[in-house]
Structure formats: structure tokens, C-alpha cells
Structure 1
Amino acid sequence: MRSAEDSPAAPVVAVVDCGPDDRPRLERLEAAVPTRVCDGPAEGGALVERAAGCAVLATLYTYTPVTEAVLDGLPGLRLVITRTAGSSHIDLGAAQRRGIAVATVPEGPTQAVAEYTIAAAIALSRGLPAAVASTARGEWDFTGFRGHDLGGRTLGVVGLGHIGARVAQLGQAFGMRVVGWSRSEKGLDGVEQVPLPALLQRAHVVSVNVALAAETHRLLDAAALARMRPDAVLVNTSRGETIDLDALCDLLRAGRLGGAWLDVVEGEPGLPAERLEALAAVPNLFVTPHISWHTHETLDRQFDGMIDRILAFCAQDHRTEEPHHASP
């Protein structure tokens, strides 16, 4: 950890959960404003200690909980920023009540997650995982792997924010009809806005791209999932809590859904081994370890976006020139 004594000025920014590969990406920030960089995960009192005396708390990972208790311990804090698109690890209500700004970098993972979504849709629609496994067993037989084109089929996008909008655009590029649903009822060129039940009933591919909130927790519950076409495929890159996973597995076991590709599951990371084994046994269910965003280009955009926002905040907030002093 770098202390205030290591810099000619007390730190303005605390990066509270730096990973081993993150340091080089923070050089521009450190060159511009006094910065304290702390390595590894932390929470609670340790997190307060790491950000003490700073005007800006920067978190790089969603496993770092910026709770009301943490905010109470940082009276000089004026901005909490995360390089991620989501902010579910930050108590937004507590920050608002204290007049603390919260910023994210929603554009960072957009392209990577949208491309992953289309790749997953193709893999499911063409049965690629099963075909690879069959060939590995020496079964050079194509007859059981007749799939579907994406072109001409209907893509249903649940959530039309940055990522959902890009998924819709890529779907259109493949010649898909696109229907969308958004809590904000925002419009998007070429996307037919429909109620969520209608979207689920019509779509051959359903992409879930909503932020996790009280309104989206179990948005696709058992009743909603049961509305989907029996040949439809589902891709979730948002948060695991948006879907009733047990209900989804029941549909797949019963052959009442074409397939599902999940980059997120409730309880990640660290699901019990028996839970992982049970999921692996569900037919046409594929789970990856939250990698849809994880590309070199995404990381560049995330860190650049975070640093740009921090520097803009410091430039307009003269109080960051005289941050609250406390022991790191």
C-alpha cells in the first residue's frame, strides 16, 4: 500500500482493490493526482482504512462491497467510482443520502459482451458444444447436428442499455428481427418495443441485459420462462439473480427449451461443487465464469473511462485540492 508519506501531497484518490495486473493501467492516474493504491480485496473496516482521507474511492472489482458502514467511515468522501458497468456492489441509496456521487463506466464492456452474446446464440443454435464433444469421441457424424440460421429468426433483447442496444445492432447485422423490452421504455431504431411476456413468446433467441435491481430480481421467474418457445435459446450476461435458475433447469430437463448459455449465476463465485455438478448435468445448459466482458480491449476502455471521469471530477471540484486528512 502506498501511504500519504510516499507522495508530496496527501492522496486524493484511493484505488482500494488493485489486482496484480492492474498497476500499469493506473500510471496515468498516479501521474495526474495524488493516488493511494492498495492491493488485493478488502471490505468493511479494512476498506475504510484504505480510503481514509481521500475524496475519491475507486473500486476495480464488483466483489468489493461499498456499504453504508463503509461510507459512514469516510466523511471526506465525495465520489465512489467503479470501472465496471454495474454498481450492485455499491449502496447507491446510502451514497445519495450523504451527497456522495457514484460513477460507473457503462461503455467499457459493451462490444465484448455483445459479441459474446451472439457467439453464444450461434453455439446454441448450431449445437456446437455437442458437435465438438462428438468429434472428440471419434464420431465423425454430421447428421445429428442440423441447426438453425440466426438470419430470419427473432431476437428478443431484455434491457436496452448500452449492451442491449449493441446486441440488437449485431442481431440486425445477422438479419434477425429484433424485439426489445426496457424498464425505461426507451426506443431504439429497428427494434420493436413489446411487453416482456410478448417478447418471451416470440423470440427464438432471448438475451438478458438488464442491471440488477429490486425490479429485475427474478425478472425471468418460472412463469416468465414458461412463456418461451420450446425451441428458443436463452443467453444471460447480466446477473445471475435476474433468472430463476432452478426453473430454467427444470425446463431444460423436460425438453421444453432449446438451450441456455449463462455467463453469470447466482452465488458466483464459489458455488459448491455439488451445485456445479448438478448444473453440468442439465442438458443444453452451458455456464462460463463471468468472462463475457473480459477482453484486452474492454480493460483498456474501463480503465481509461474510469481515469477520465476521476480527473474530470477533480478538475471541477476544487475541494479535492485540500482533501480530508486521516491516517491511511
Structure 2
Amino acid sequence: MALVLITTDHLRPGDEVDLLLAEAGHRTRHLPGTGVRDPAELVAALDGVEGAVIGTEPLTAAVLGAAPALRAVVRSGVGHDSVDVEAATRLGISVSTLPGVNANAVAEYTLGLLIAAARRLVPLALGVAEGRWPRGSGRELRGATLGLVGYGASARGVVPLARAFGMTVLCTTSVPDDDPSVRFTDLGTLLRESDYVSLHTALTPRTRRLVDEDALATMKPTAVLVNTARGPLVDEAALVRAVTTGVIAGAELDVVDVEPLPADSPLRGVDGITVYSHMAGQTAEARRAAGVGAARELVAALAGAPRSSVNAHLITAG
């Protein structure tokens, strides 16, 4: 029997995930993440814990090093940039993700952001709420070009939806395939030709601040940036300057550098920039799949047979 810590915010004691772990003989400790947490609190919560299901909880080298019993971590999502995988590997801790678990949810949400930007839905609704009756025109997606940065499961899910709206789809990726509905190209070409640029790439040292001042200057002045991937992919200060000076038309951001968005964030109050609360993958269906998938992966990992670990092979080799 292992003690399991669960920090994913939508998982609760007595739910399906809790029952799956209990059926496997494990005990659970819940500490739902609701924002930035003091690392000391997380270290205390990990005391005696052998397995953890986490959301975007930052598991730094210091935190992992203070959890000697920990053997397996499962992210209830697709990325692992919140976990110091190198430190985890050194400490013999398996780190797993759930590839593609919320791809359909993210794809649909991306199209929602494209429509919201094209038809200015948020400013219109806010105008009515404030007692006005705004009548400015929007634009249609048909005939526009969508540039996808990255070609993982969520980006691939966007392609048929965008094509159904009559959009041309460009993509930059290191692993192109033979999809005839996508034109694969380099990042510079994609930025120059796209009316909408949507980010779907992982956060790595190479992609951090991928969308910087130079990249923004390459885009059309009528272009809109959409980010449902990771906040640090974008240089937020450069983005604010680009939108306020007309270098690009705007941005729809589901993710930001610091979440929740700080009260003094320069992104607040910028006409043309709309910030959402990291909800792209948060449908009832995706949440259930992520929770159940995380529980099953953690049970397997604690038994020494993880199925989607990003570092188990390195631990074995070491």
C-alpha cells in the first residue's frame, strides 16, 4: 500500500479516481492546487508520499529532493514542464504524462478562440453588459490562413475543424506527415502568411519566448496570436507592445507566464488582448479521462511498469 498525493484541482476525496486508487490498495491525500503555493507546503504534503498525481504543481529539484519516499509522479495532462525531470531521474522518480488526453477539448477550444477573435465576441458582450449596444463588424474565418506552431495531438485535432470553416492551414513542425490538408513550412513563412497563429508546441529551453519581438514583427498587422499551450512560449512584454502599437491586431491567451494572472500584469486592460483561465483542456469528458488515466498510470508506475513515463528508461539505464 502506498500513500498518494493528489493536487489536481478538480479531483476530490471519494471520486472515481480516489476509488480506483483505493481498489489498487493505495491511500490518498488531497491538496488541490488553487494557485501559487509555498514550496514548503508542498514539501510537507509530500511527507511519506510514494506516488503523486499533479496538475501544474511545480515539482522543482528542491521539492523532489525533500521527498525521499517519492517513486512516481503522474501529470494529469500532456506536458511535464512543471516537473524537473532531470532531478526526478537522478532521484529515481518516474515521471509520466497523458499524451493526447485532452486533444479534442483543446482543438474545439482553439476554434472557439478563433471565432471569438474574428467576431470580437468578448468586447461585444462586455459592451452590452456595460449598457452599450456595440455594432462593430467582425471578420469571417473562411478564406483566412491559420498557422499551427507544433503538430501534436491538439494541433492535428484543429486541422479538420479549421478546414471545415474554409481556412487554409499551415504548420511548422520537426515531424511533418503526408496530410494533404496541411502545408508544412518553416516558422518564418508561417508567421508572415498567417492571419491567425496558434501555438501547440511543448515548452522547452528552445521554445521558451519563441514568440518574441522579432517573431511578432514578422506577423501581419491584422494577425491574431492564439495560445492554448504554455504561457512562457510568449514574451508578454513584447506582445503588449506589439498589440498597443499595431504591430499585430490582438491575442487570445488561455495560458500566461504566471497563473492566476497577477493584478499588476501588463496584459490586463489591453484592448485587443483577451486572457482566459487555462481552460482549453477542461471539459467534463477530458477531465474524467485525465483523472482515470492518471490513476491507472500511477498504479502501473508504482508497480514498476509505467506506460507513458518520459524518463523510466533513463532510470533503468542508470
Q: Which of the five TM-score ranges fits, normalised by the shorter chain? A: 0.7 to 0.9
- Whether 1:93 aligns to 2:81 is no
Larger Rg: 1
Q: Deviations over 1:81-139 (max 9, x none)?
A: 11122212211111223343210123232222221111111111122233334445665
Tell me how far 1:281 sits from its aligned partner: 3.0
Amino acid of the structure 2 residue aligned with 1:259: G
Q: Deviations over 1:162-183 (max 9, x none)?
A: 212212232122221111112x
Does the 8 Å CA contact 1:78/1:100 hold for their aligned counterparts? yes
- Whether 1:288 aligns to 2:281 is no
Does the 8 Å CA contact 1:134/1:140 hold for their aligned counterparts? yes
Tell me how far 1:199 sits from its aligned partner: 0.5
- Cross-structure match for 2:293: 305
Larger deviation: 226-235 or 286-295? 286-295
Amino acid of the structure 1 residue aligned with 2:157: R
Amino acid of the structure 1 residue aligned with 2:287: L
- TM-score normalised by structure 1 residue count: 0.82
- How many residues in Structure 1 have an aligned counterpart in Structure 2? 300
Q: What is the CA–CA distance in structure 2 between the aligned matches of 1:274 and 1:89, rounded to whole Å?
A: 23
Q: What is the CA–CA distance in structure 2 between the aligned matches of 1:128 and 1:230, rounded to whole Å?
A: 20
- Whether 1:185 aligns to 2:175 is yes
Q: What is the CA–CA distance in structure 1 between the aligned matches of 2:101 and 2:206, rounded to whole Å?
A: 24
Larger deviation: 22-31 or 85-94? 22-31
Q: What is the CA–CA distance in structure 2 between the aligned matches of 1:86 and 1:53, rounded to whole Å?
A: 26
Does the 8 Å CA contact 1:205/1:233 hold for their aligned counterparts? yes
Does the 8 Å CA contact 1:230/1:258 hold for their aligned counterparts? yes
Residue of structure 1 aligned with 2:248, choices 253, 257, 263: 257
Label 1:90 to 1:141 Cα distance change in 2 as closer, same or farther (>3 A).
Answer: closer
Q: What is the CA–CA distance in structure 2 between the aligned matches of 1:140 and 1:74, rounded to whole Å?
A: 56
Unaligned stretches of 5+ residues in structure 1? 1-10, 319-328
- Cross-structure match for 1:37: 29
Sequence identity percentage: 35
Unaligned stretches of 5+ residues in structure 2? 307-318
Label 1:302 to 1:176 Cα distance change in 2 as closer, same or farther (>3 A).
Answer: same
Does the 8 Å CA contact 1:43/1:66 hold for their aligned counterparts? no
Does the 8 Å CA contact 2:146/2:169 hold for their aligned counterparts? yes
Q: What is the CA–CA distance in structure 1 between the aligned matches of 2:203 and 2:41, rounded to whole Å?
A: 26
Does the 8 Å CA contact 2:103/2:157 hold for their aligned counterparts? yes
Residue of structure 1 aligned with 2:196, choices 205, 219, 222: 205
- Cross-structure match for 1:17: 7
- TM-score normalised by structure 2 residue count: 0.84
- Where in structure 2 are the equivalents of 1:1-328 lying within 5 Å? 11-17=1-7, 19=9, 22-23=12-13, 24-25=15-16, 26-40=18-32, 44=39, 46-59=41-54, 61-62=55-56, 64-136=57-129, 140=133, 142=135, 144-145=136-137, 147-182=138-173, 184-187=174-177, 189=179, 190-271=181-262, 273-275=263-265, 278-315=266-303, 317=305
Q: What is the CA–CA distance in structure 2 between the aligned matches of 1:280 and 1:52, rounded to whole Å?
A: 38
Tell me how far 1:71 sits from its aligned partner: 3.0
Q: What is the CA–CA distance in structure 2 between the aligned matches of 1:194 and 1:163, rounded to whole Å?
A: 18
Q: Deviations over 1:230-252 (max 9, x none)?
A: 11111111122111112212221
Label 1:188 to 1:178 Cα distance change in 2 as closer, same or farther (>3 A).
Answer: farther
- Cross-structure match for 2:314: none
Does the 8 Å CA contact 1:264/1:287 hold for their aligned counterparts? yes
